[in-house]
Amino acid sequence: MSELEKARKNVKSVRRILALTNYLSSSSSLFKGIVVFSIITLHILLSIRFKDFAWLASCGNVITVFALTLIFYEAVLAKFEDGIKCCHIESEPPKDYLPEYEASNYPGVVQPEKIESALEQRRIYFNKTYQNAFLYFCYTILGVLIASYSSYLNHIFYPK
């Protein structure tokens, strides 16, 4: 599989998370505050209802998932579309700088084979950056959710 094919596969994978993270990141601070407040309120109500404040303890991990989603977008995915354009993953390089003749005798004119080599290096870097982004994102969410709610299995398997 060529670097371009790997890059196109990575683009599809990362775009799955972009929908959620882009929506959350582009929403107002007020909306984000309301989401966090709602999570806290829900867990306080669950703690009172079940007379078990382990529910409130779980709230912290759920808020962590929310925060990691936003941080992940700002740190990694905000530059994603620029990477796609820079590496010409979904488009061909512009033909205006790819001359149809050998440019070795013409200074200042870019040689096509050097452009392909440079694009290949950019695509390798792109793949290293984004190949595991979706997997790590899912691992983070899964781990925090297991930490948050696994203690409630005691109520199912070991009722009092």
Q: How many angstroms separate the most distant Cα atoms in the chain? A: 86
**Lowest-pLDDT range of 63-67, 71-75, 95-99, 115-119:** 95-99
pLDDT band at residue 33 under the 50/70/90 scheme: confident
The average pLDDT across 66-76 equals 76
First to last CA, the chain: 56
Instruction: Give the Å distances, CA to CA, from 149 to 141, 143, 145.
Output: 12, 10, 6
More confident: 100 or 133: 133
Q: Which 3 state secondary structure label does DSSP give 90?
A: coil
pTM of the predicted model, to two decimals?
Answer: 0.52
